[in-house]
Amino acid sequence: MERDDLHVNDSYALNATHSEEEGKKIRKKLYNVTILLTLLTVVEVFMGVFFKRNGTFTWEVIKLGFIVLTLVKAAYIVLVFMHLGDERRNLKYVILLPYALFIMYLIFIGLTEGLATHDAYNTLR
């Protein structure tokens, strides 16, 4: 059965080849991304397993650590898999800074409303 989505004359899909050196660079980049994201995830899991609420660190520092590691992973995924890392620095800032500000705003609103709810609950008791 012949595929009707590939046309030999006007498609580059059949001609998309690269050299072995380029393939090695691509595989090395994928391995590095996988290793880095795995290490960040392992650090998050160990933080969740070993640091308890009454441990050596305060619980707020642990929560902040989770937030920072999650944001680092999200930014790295956007930079690598959405090919934003290959763009110019100004374009990266134009795309990432509004998201970072929005996330910080959401964190601020969550903390502010959470504290207000906690205070209101304590005054009613």
Summarised one tens digit per residue, pLDDT across range 20-37 is 888 888 889 889 999 999
Indicate whether 31 belongs to any domain.
Answer: yes
Q: Which two tokens stand for residue 80?
A: 């690598």
How far apart (Å, rounded) are the C-alpha atoms in residues 97 and 29? 25
* Average pLDDT of the chain, as a whole number: 81
Indicate whether 8 belongs to any domain.
Answer: no
Quick check: 11 pLDDT over 60?
no
pLDDT for position 56: 63
User: Are residues 57 and 94 part of one domain?
Assistant: no
Indicate whether 2 belongs to any domain.
Answer: no
- Domain of 41 in residue numbering reads as 17-86
Cβ pair 103, 71 in contact under 8 A? yes
User: Are residues 31 and 77 part of one domain?
Assistant: yes
* pLDDT tens digits for range 50-94: 877 666 667 778 888 888 898 889 888 888 888 877 788 888 888
User: Are residues 75 and 108 part of one domain?
Assistant: no
Q: What's the total number of domains in the chain? A: 2
Q: What is the pTM of this model?
A: 0.60
User: Are residues 63 and 28 part of one domain?
Assistant: yes
How far apart (Å, rounded) are the C-alpha atoms in residues 44 and 58? 16
